[in-house]
Structure 1
Amino acid sequence: MTSTAATGMASRTLYLARHGDAPGEGGLSAQGRRQAAFLGERLRGVPLSAIHHGPQARARETAEIVAAQRDDEEPVPRACDSAGDYVPYLPERREVASGLPEATWEWLLQLPERERLPGPELARDALRRFTGAVPGGVARHELVVTHNFVIGWLVREALDAPDWRWIGLHHANAALSIIHYAPEGPSSLIVYNDIRHLPEELRWTGFPPGLRV
Protein backbone atom coordinates (compact mmCIF):
# COMPACT_ATOMS: atom_id res chain seq x y z
CA MET A 1 0.00 0.00 0.00
CA THR A 2 1.21 3.51 -0.79
CA SER A 3 2.42 5.35 2.32
CA THR A 4 0.71 8.45 3.69
CA ALA A 5 3.81 10.51 2.93
CA ALA A 6 3.78 9.34 -0.67
CA THR A 7 0.13 10.22 -1.21
CA GLY A 8 0.37 13.57 0.58
CA MET A 9 -2.81 12.70 2.48
CA ALA A 10 -3.55 11.80 6.09
CA SER A 11 -6.47 10.11 7.78
CA ARG A 12 -9.52 11.88 9.15
CA THR A 13 -11.58 10.53 12.04
CA LEU A 14 -15.02 12.11 12.09
CA TYR A 15 -17.02 12.17 15.32
CA LEU A 16 -20.71 12.79 14.70
CA ALA A 17 -22.91 13.78 17.62
CA ARG A 18 -26.54 14.75 17.63
CA HIS A 19 -27.41 17.73 19.83
CA GLY A 20 -28.79 17.13 23.30
CA ASP A 21 -32.48 16.98 24.11
CA ALA A 22 -34.28 20.23 23.30
CA PRO A 23 -37.91 21.34 23.47
CA GLY A 24 -38.91 22.29 19.93
CA GLU A 25 -36.56 24.58 18.01
CA GLY A 26 -35.03 26.31 21.04
CA GLY A 27 -32.03 25.65 23.24
CA LEU A 28 -31.29 22.60 25.32
CA SER A 29 -33.47 21.32 28.10
CA ALA A 30 -31.92 20.57 31.51
CA GLN A 31 -31.76 16.95 30.38
CA GLY A 32 -30.06 18.00 27.15
CA ARG A 33 -27.40 19.96 29.03
CA ARG A 34 -26.63 16.91 31.14
CA GLN A 35 -26.37 14.78 28.01
CA ALA A 36 -23.96 17.27 26.45
CA ALA A 37 -21.78 17.24 29.56
CA PHE A 38 -21.53 13.44 29.47
CA LEU A 39 -20.69 13.60 25.77
CA GLY A 40 -17.93 16.10 26.58
CA GLU A 41 -16.51 13.74 29.19
CA ARG A 42 -16.52 10.95 26.60
CA LEU A 43 -14.57 13.10 24.15
CA ARG A 44 -12.26 14.80 26.66
CA GLY A 45 -9.18 12.78 25.72
CA VAL A 46 -9.73 12.87 21.95
CA PRO A 47 -7.16 15.14 20.21
CA LEU A 48 -9.78 17.14 18.34
CA SER A 49 -8.55 19.37 15.53
CA ALA A 50 -11.92 21.09 15.06
CA ILE A 51 -15.39 21.33 16.57
CA HIS A 52 -18.11 22.20 14.04
CA HIS A 53 -21.75 22.72 14.91
CA GLY A 54 -24.97 23.69 13.21
CA PRO A 55 -26.26 27.26 13.60
CA GLN A 56 -29.31 26.25 15.64
CA ALA A 57 -29.19 26.98 19.38
CA ARG A 58 -29.48 23.33 20.42
CA ALA A 59 -26.41 22.33 18.38
CA ARG A 60 -24.42 25.41 19.41
CA GLU A 61 -25.11 24.89 23.11
CA THR A 62 -24.18 21.21 22.89
CA ALA A 63 -20.87 22.04 21.21
CA GLU A 64 -20.07 24.72 23.78
CA ILE A 65 -20.73 22.35 26.68
CA VAL A 66 -18.56 19.67 25.05
CA ALA A 67 -15.75 22.19 24.54
CA ALA A 68 -15.99 23.34 28.16
CA GLN A 69 -15.12 19.81 29.34
CA ARG A 70 -11.73 19.96 27.62
CA ASP A 71 -8.45 20.78 29.36
CA ASP A 72 -7.43 23.44 26.83
CA GLU A 73 -9.21 26.27 25.02
CA GLU A 74 -8.71 24.85 21.54
CA PRO A 75 -10.42 24.08 19.30
CA VAL A 76 -13.08 26.77 19.54
CA PRO A 77 -16.53 25.58 18.38
CA ARG A 78 -17.49 27.13 15.04
CA ALA A 79 -20.87 27.29 13.37
CA CYS A 80 -21.34 25.81 9.92
CA ASP A 81 -24.55 25.89 7.87
CA SER A 82 -23.85 22.46 6.38
CA ALA A 83 -24.04 21.01 9.91
CA GLY A 84 -27.52 22.51 10.32
CA ASP A 85 -31.01 21.04 10.37
CA TYR A 86 -32.15 20.25 6.82
CA VAL A 87 -33.39 17.49 4.54
CA PRO A 88 -30.32 16.28 2.62
CA TYR A 89 -32.11 14.52 -0.21
CA LEU A 90 -35.71 13.95 -1.27
CA PRO A 91 -36.07 10.76 -3.31
CA GLU A 92 -38.55 10.01 -6.05
CA ARG A 93 -40.67 6.90 -5.68
CA ARG A 94 -38.95 5.12 -8.57
CA GLU A 95 -35.60 5.32 -6.74
CA VAL A 96 -36.76 3.23 -3.80
CA ALA A 97 -37.05 -0.27 -5.22
CA SER A 98 -38.01 -1.81 -1.90
CA GLY A 99 -40.67 0.82 -1.35
CA LEU A 100 -41.34 3.02 1.65
CA PRO A 101 -44.47 3.08 3.79
CA GLU A 102 -47.00 5.63 2.56
CA ALA A 103 -46.73 7.34 5.93
CA THR A 104 -43.04 8.00 5.23
CA TRP A 105 -43.82 9.69 1.90
CA GLU A 106 -46.45 11.83 3.60
CA TRP A 107 -43.96 12.74 6.32
CA LEU A 108 -41.33 13.78 3.75
CA LEU A 109 -43.79 16.01 1.90
CA GLN A 110 -44.96 17.80 5.03
CA LEU A 111 -41.44 18.77 6.15
CA PRO A 112 -41.08 22.59 6.14
CA GLU A 113 -39.63 24.31 3.08
CA ARG A 114 -36.86 25.89 5.17
CA GLU A 115 -35.54 22.35 5.71
CA ARG A 116 -36.28 20.95 2.23
CA LEU A 117 -35.27 23.64 -0.26
CA PRO A 118 -31.65 24.41 0.76
CA GLY A 119 -30.99 20.81 1.77
CA PRO A 120 -29.34 19.29 -1.32
CA GLU A 121 -26.67 22.00 -1.65
CA LEU A 122 -25.95 21.98 2.08
CA ALA A 123 -25.70 18.18 1.95
CA ARG A 124 -23.16 18.34 -0.88
CA ASP A 125 -21.18 20.91 1.09
CA ALA A 126 -21.23 18.64 4.15
CA LEU A 127 -19.61 15.89 2.09
CA ARG A 128 -16.94 18.31 0.85
CA ARG A 129 -16.20 19.68 4.32
CA PHE A 130 -16.40 16.68 6.58
CA THR A 131 -15.57 13.49 4.66
CA GLY A 132 -12.50 11.89 3.14
CA ALA A 133 -8.81 11.94 3.97
CA VAL A 134 -7.11 15.31 4.50
CA PRO A 135 -4.13 16.95 2.78
CA GLY A 136 -0.80 16.88 4.58
CA GLY A 137 0.90 14.43 6.87
CA VAL A 138 -1.06 15.05 10.08
CA ALA A 139 -4.13 13.00 10.93
CA ARG A 140 -7.21 14.98 11.97
CA HIS A 141 -9.94 14.29 14.50
CA GLU A 142 -13.03 16.43 13.91
CA LEU A 143 -16.27 16.67 15.85
CA VAL A 144 -19.51 17.72 14.15
CA VAL A 145 -22.43 18.47 16.46
CA THR A 146 -25.40 18.30 14.16
CA HIS A 147 -28.87 16.83 13.63
CA ASN A 148 -30.47 13.47 12.94
CA PHE A 149 -30.83 13.82 9.15
CA VAL A 150 -27.26 15.03 8.59
CA ILE A 151 -25.79 12.16 10.59
CA GLY A 152 -27.86 9.72 8.54
CA TRP A 153 -26.64 11.39 5.35
CA LEU A 154 -22.95 11.14 6.27
CA VAL A 155 -23.24 7.56 7.54
CA ARG A 156 -25.08 6.58 4.35
CA GLU A 157 -22.23 8.05 2.30
CA ALA A 158 -19.61 6.21 4.33
CA LEU A 159 -21.35 2.93 3.48
CA ASP A 160 -21.82 3.78 -0.23
CA ALA A 161 -25.57 3.50 0.21
CA PRO A 162 -28.03 5.23 -2.17
CA ASP A 163 -28.71 8.92 -1.58
CA TRP A 164 -32.18 8.26 -0.21
CA ARG A 165 -30.91 5.84 2.43
CA TRP A 166 -30.44 8.51 5.09
CA ILE A 167 -34.10 7.74 5.71
CA GLY A 168 -34.42 5.23 8.53
CA LEU A 169 -30.99 5.92 10.04
CA HIS A 170 -31.98 7.29 13.44
CA HIS A 171 -29.69 8.85 16.02
CA ALA A 172 -30.42 9.50 19.68
CA ASN A 173 -29.68 12.81 21.39
CA ALA A 174 -26.00 13.15 22.38
CA ALA A 175 -25.21 9.73 20.91
CA LEU A 176 -21.94 9.31 19.04
CA SER A 177 -21.05 7.85 15.65
CA ILE A 178 -17.46 7.65 14.41
CA ILE A 179 -16.24 7.30 10.82
CA HIS A 180 -12.61 6.82 9.81
CA TYR A 181 -11.33 7.94 6.40
CA ALA A 182 -7.93 6.53 5.44
CA PRO A 183 -5.81 7.97 2.60
CA GLU A 184 -6.64 4.84 0.61
CA GLY A 185 -9.43 2.29 0.75
CA PRO A 186 -13.04 2.54 1.87
CA SER A 187 -14.23 4.52 4.85
CA SER A 188 -14.85 2.63 8.09
CA LEU A 189 -17.90 3.10 10.31
CA ILE A 190 -16.38 2.42 13.74
CA VAL A 191 -19.41 2.97 15.96
CA TYR A 192 -22.98 4.07 15.31
CA ASN A 193 -25.45 5.68 17.73
CA ASP A 194 -23.21 4.84 20.71
CA ILE A 195 -24.90 5.87 23.97
CA ARG A 196 -22.69 4.10 26.52
CA HIS A 197 -21.41 7.42 27.92
CA LEU A 198 -24.95 8.37 28.98
CA PRO A 199 -26.61 7.12 32.18
CA GLU A 200 -29.68 4.99 31.65
CA GLU A 201 -32.18 7.78 32.28
CA LEU A 202 -30.59 9.98 29.59
CA ARG A 203 -30.44 7.37 26.82
CA TRP A 204 -32.65 7.09 23.75
CA THR A 205 -34.25 10.54 23.82
CA GLY A 206 -35.08 11.70 20.31
CA PHE A 207 -35.18 8.10 19.07
CA PRO A 208 -38.31 6.30 17.79
CA PRO A 209 -39.76 4.40 20.79
CA GLY A 210 -40.46 1.26 18.78
CA LEU A 211 -36.80 0.91 17.75
CA ARG A 212 -35.15 1.26 21.16
CA VAL A 213 -33.26 -1.77 22.47
Structure 2
Amino acid sequence: MATRHLYVVRHGAADTFGELTDIGQRQTELLAERLAHLPVDAVWHSPLPRAVRSARIIGEHLRGVPVREAAELIDHVPHVPAQAPPAWAGFFDGYDPAEAAEGERLADALTGRFARPAESETHEVLVTHAYQVAWLVRHALDAPRSRWLTMSCGNAAMTAIEYYDGAAPALLLYNDMSHLPPDLRWTGFGPGVRP
Protein backbone atom coordinates (compact mmCIF):
# COMPACT_ATOMS: atom_id res chain seq x y z
CA MET A 1 0.00 0.00 0.00
CA ALA A 2 1.46 3.37 -1.05
CA THR A 3 1.84 5.87 1.78
CA ARG A 4 2.02 9.63 1.54
CA HIS A 5 4.34 10.90 4.28
CA LEU A 6 3.86 14.59 5.05
CA TYR A 7 6.37 16.42 7.22
CA VAL A 8 4.52 19.63 7.96
CA VAL A 9 6.76 22.33 9.42
CA ARG A 10 6.27 25.90 10.51
CA HIS A 11 8.76 28.43 9.18
CA GLY A 12 11.52 29.72 11.47
CA ALA A 13 11.01 32.77 13.69
CA ALA A 14 10.40 35.95 11.70
CA ASP A 15 10.42 39.68 12.34
CA THR A 16 7.42 42.01 12.00
CA PHE A 17 8.15 42.35 8.27
CA GLY A 18 7.92 38.57 7.73
CA GLU A 19 11.63 37.99 7.20
CA LEU A 20 13.54 35.27 9.06
CA THR A 21 15.50 36.48 12.06
CA ASP A 22 18.92 35.09 12.97
CA ILE A 23 17.11 32.81 15.45
CA GLY A 24 14.69 31.72 12.71
CA GLN A 25 17.56 30.91 10.39
CA ARG A 26 19.27 28.79 13.08
CA GLN A 27 16.02 27.01 13.91
CA THR A 28 15.52 26.20 10.24
CA GLU A 29 19.09 24.96 9.81
CA LEU A 30 18.60 22.52 12.71
CA LEU A 31 15.27 21.40 11.25
CA ALA A 32 16.95 20.89 7.87
CA GLU A 33 19.63 18.70 9.46
CA ARG A 34 16.87 16.53 10.90
CA LEU A 35 15.00 16.33 7.60
CA ALA A 36 18.22 15.39 5.75
CA HIS A 37 17.97 11.92 7.30
CA LEU A 38 14.64 11.27 5.58
CA PRO A 39 14.03 10.16 1.96
CA VAL A 40 12.38 13.47 0.98
CA ASP A 41 11.00 13.69 -2.57
CA ALA A 42 9.83 17.33 -2.58
CA VAL A 43 9.71 20.48 -0.46
CA TRP A 44 6.61 22.66 -0.88
CA HIS A 45 6.33 26.12 0.65
CA SER A 46 3.96 29.00 1.19
CA PRO A 47 4.57 32.06 -1.01
CA LEU A 48 5.27 34.27 2.03
CA PRO A 49 8.93 35.33 2.54
CA ARG A 50 9.47 33.59 5.91
CA ALA A 51 8.34 30.27 4.44
CA VAL A 52 10.22 30.78 1.17
CA ARG A 53 13.50 31.43 3.01
CA SER A 54 12.93 28.50 5.38
CA ALA A 55 12.27 26.19 2.40
CA ARG A 56 15.43 27.36 0.66
CA ILE A 57 17.51 26.60 3.75
CA ILE A 58 15.93 23.15 3.94
CA GLY A 59 16.58 22.64 0.22
CA GLU A 60 20.27 23.42 0.70
CA HIS A 61 20.48 20.42 3.04
CA LEU A 62 18.48 18.12 0.74
CA ARG A 63 20.62 18.07 -2.37
CA GLY A 64 18.69 17.43 -5.57
CA VAL A 65 15.25 17.67 -3.94
CA PRO A 66 12.94 20.12 -5.75
CA VAL A 67 11.75 23.12 -3.72
CA ARG A 68 8.51 24.61 -5.05
CA GLU A 69 5.78 27.02 -4.08
CA ALA A 70 2.28 25.78 -3.26
CA ALA A 71 -0.28 28.58 -3.00
CA GLU A 72 -2.47 26.38 -0.76
CA LEU A 73 0.11 26.71 2.04
CA ILE A 74 -0.30 30.49 2.42
CA ASP A 75 -1.05 31.87 5.87
CA HIS A 76 -4.77 32.49 6.39
CA VAL A 77 -7.53 31.88 8.94
CA PRO A 78 -8.96 28.54 7.78
CA HIS A 79 -12.30 28.67 9.57
CA VAL A 80 -14.29 31.37 11.34
CA PRO A 81 -16.79 29.66 13.66
CA ALA A 82 -20.37 30.94 13.53
CA GLN A 83 -20.23 31.25 17.31
CA ALA A 84 -16.68 32.13 18.28
CA PRO A 85 -15.65 31.15 21.81
CA PRO A 86 -15.70 34.28 24.03
CA ALA A 87 -11.90 34.25 24.41
CA TRP A 88 -11.54 34.37 20.60
CA ALA A 89 -14.24 36.97 19.84
CA GLY A 90 -11.70 39.80 19.39
CA PHE A 91 -9.57 37.67 17.07
CA PHE A 92 -12.45 37.32 14.63
CA ASP A 93 -13.62 40.95 14.79
CA GLY A 94 -13.64 42.41 11.32
CA TYR A 95 -13.93 39.15 9.35
CA ASP A 96 -16.80 39.64 6.98
CA PRO A 97 -18.68 36.72 5.37
CA ALA A 98 -16.65 36.99 2.14
CA GLU A 99 -13.33 36.75 4.03
CA ALA A 100 -14.62 33.82 6.07
CA ALA A 101 -15.74 32.03 2.90
CA GLU A 102 -12.35 32.65 1.26
CA GLY A 103 -10.59 31.21 4.33
CA GLU A 104 -12.69 28.06 4.11
CA ARG A 105 -12.04 27.80 0.36
CA LEU A 106 -8.28 28.01 0.94
CA ALA A 107 -8.49 25.47 3.77
CA ASP A 108 -10.40 23.04 1.57
CA ALA A 109 -7.84 23.55 -1.22
CA LEU A 110 -5.03 22.75 1.25
CA THR A 111 -6.58 19.48 2.38
CA GLY A 112 -7.72 18.64 -1.15
CA ARG A 113 -4.18 18.85 -2.46
CA PHE A 114 -2.10 17.42 0.38
CA ALA A 115 -4.32 15.55 2.88
CA ARG A 116 -4.89 12.43 0.82
CA PRO A 117 -3.04 9.32 -0.28
CA ALA A 118 -0.63 9.51 -3.21
CA GLU A 119 -0.43 7.14 -6.16
CA SER A 120 3.04 6.03 -5.08
CA GLU A 121 5.15 6.19 -1.92
CA THR A 122 6.07 9.83 -1.31
CA HIS A 123 7.84 11.87 1.37
CA GLU A 124 7.01 15.58 1.19
CA VAL A 125 7.95 18.54 3.37
CA LEU A 126 5.38 21.33 3.65
CA VAL A 127 6.82 24.63 4.92
CA THR A 128 3.85 26.63 6.08
CA HIS A 129 2.32 28.54 9.01
CA ALA A 130 0.88 27.73 12.42
CA TYR A 131 -2.77 27.88 11.37
CA GLN A 132 -2.20 25.59 8.40
CA VAL A 133 -0.37 23.04 10.57
CA ALA A 134 -3.30 23.11 13.01
CA TRP A 135 -5.78 22.75 10.16
CA LEU A 136 -4.03 19.69 8.72
CA VAL A 137 -3.86 18.06 12.18
CA ARG A 138 -7.53 18.83 12.80
CA HIS A 139 -8.39 17.31 9.44
CA ALA A 140 -6.28 14.17 10.05
CA LEU A 141 -8.06 13.61 13.36
CA ASP A 142 -11.47 14.27 11.79
CA ALA A 143 -12.08 16.86 14.52
CA PRO A 144 -14.68 19.64 14.27
CA ARG A 145 -13.65 22.54 12.02
CA SER A 146 -13.30 24.93 14.97
CA ARG A 147 -10.80 22.61 16.73
CA TRP A 148 -7.81 24.26 15.02
CA LEU A 149 -8.25 27.30 17.27
CA THR A 150 -6.45 25.88 20.30
CA MET A 151 -3.56 24.12 18.56
CA SER A 152 -0.28 26.00 18.94
CA CYS A 153 2.72 25.33 16.75
CA GLY A 154 6.27 26.46 17.46
CA ASN A 155 8.62 27.89 14.88
CA ALA A 156 10.53 25.15 13.03
CA ALA A 157 8.45 22.46 14.77
CA MET A 158 7.69 19.25 12.86
CA THR A 159 4.38 17.46 12.49
CA ALA A 160 4.27 14.13 10.64
CA ILE A 161 1.11 12.70 9.09
CA GLU A 162 0.75 9.58 6.95
CA TYR A 163 -2.06 8.99 4.45
CA TYR A 164 -3.04 5.54 3.17
CA ASP A 165 -5.66 4.21 0.77
CA GLY A 166 -8.73 2.93 2.58
CA ALA A 167 -7.63 3.94 6.09
CA ALA A 168 -7.74 6.98 8.34
CA PRO A 169 -4.62 9.19 8.38
CA ALA A 170 -2.03 8.53 11.09
CA LEU A 171 -0.73 11.46 13.14
CA LEU A 172 2.82 10.40 14.05
CA LEU A 173 4.21 13.65 15.50
CA TYR A 174 2.73 17.00 16.41
CA ASN A 175 4.73 20.15 17.14
CA ASP A 176 7.93 18.17 17.75
CA MET A 177 10.89 20.42 18.53
CA SER A 178 13.37 17.80 19.74
CA HIS A 179 15.87 18.98 17.10
CA LEU A 180 16.01 22.43 18.75
CA PRO A 181 17.90 23.29 21.94
CA PRO A 182 15.65 24.62 24.74
CA ASP A 183 16.51 28.27 24.09
CA LEU A 184 15.20 28.02 20.51
CA ARG A 185 11.89 26.33 21.35
CA TRP A 186 8.47 27.99 21.63
CA THR A 187 9.43 31.21 19.90
CA GLY A 188 6.57 33.17 18.45
CA PHE A 189 4.38 32.88 21.54
CA GLY A 190 3.80 35.18 24.48
CA PRO A 191 5.36 34.63 27.90
CA GLY A 192 4.29 31.58 29.86
CA VAL A 193 5.32 28.19 31.11
CA ARG A 194 6.20 25.80 28.28
CA PRO A 195 7.00 22.09 28.48
Question: TM-score, normalising length from structure 2?
Answer: 0.93
| Alpha-carbon distance change, 202 to 133 in structure 1, aligned in 2, over 3 angstroms | same
Deviation of 1:113 after TM superposition, in Å, equals: 10
Q: How many aligned residue pairs are there?
A: 195
- Distance (whole Å) between structure 1 residues aligned to residue 102 and residue 124 of structure 2: 24
Q: Which one of the candidate residues 52, 62, 80 is aligned to 2:54?
A: 62
The SS at the match of 2:161 is strand
Report deviation, 1:116.
Answer: 5.1
Task: Measure, in 2, the Cα distance between the counterparts of 1:66 and 1:114.
Answer: 35
Letter in 2 for 1:73: G
> Corresponding residue for 1:78?
68
Q: Distance in 1 between matches of 2:193 and 2:138?
A: 19
SS of residue in 1 equivalent to 2:139 = helix
Q: CA RMSD in A?
A: 2.0
Residues 154-196 of structure 1, C-alpha deviation per residue, up to 9 Å, x if partnerless? 0000000011111011100000000111222111110110000
Q: Residue 49 in 1 paired to residue 49 in 2?
A: no
Corresponding residue for 1:7? none
Unpaired runs of at least 5, structure 1:
5-9
Residue 205 of structure 1 corresponds to: 187
Task: Output the amino acid matched with 1:202.
Answer: L
What is the aligned counterpart of 2:80 among 64, 68, 90?
A: 90
- 1:132 corresponding residue in structure 2: 116
Distance apart, 1:82 and its partner CA: 0.9
Task: Report the 3-state secondary structure (helix = DSSP H, G, I; strand = E; otherwise coil) of the residue aligned with 2:50.
Answer: helix
Q: Distance in 1 between matches of 2:91 and 2:45?
A: 26
Within 5 Å, which residues of 2 pair with 1:188-203?
Answer: 188-203=170-185
TM-score (norm 1): 0.85
- Native 8 Å contact 1:40 1:65 kept in 2: yes
The structure whose Rg is larger is 1
Q: Which position in structure 2 is the counterpart of 1:104?
A: 88
Q: 1:15/1:21 Cα in 2 relative to 1: closer, same or farther (>3 Å)?
A: same
C-alpha change, 1:114 and 1:92, in structure 2 (3 Å) is closer
Identity %: 38
Q: Distance in 2 between matches of 1:115 and 1:212?
A: 33
CA shift, 1:210, in A, is: 3.3
- Report the alpha carbon displacement of residue 209 of structure 1 after superposing the two structures with TM: 3.5
Partner Cα separation in structure 1 for residue 168 and residue 183 of structure 2 = 36
Amino acid at match of 1:120: E
The residue that corresponds to 1:143 in the other structure is 125
Q: For the residues of structure 2 that align with 1:47 and 1:27, how far apart are their CA atoms?
A: 28
8 Å Cα contact 1:63/1:77 also seen in 2: yes
Structure 1 residue 206, shift from structure 2 partner = 1.5
Does residue 24 (structure 1) correspond to residue 8 (structure 2)? The answer is: no
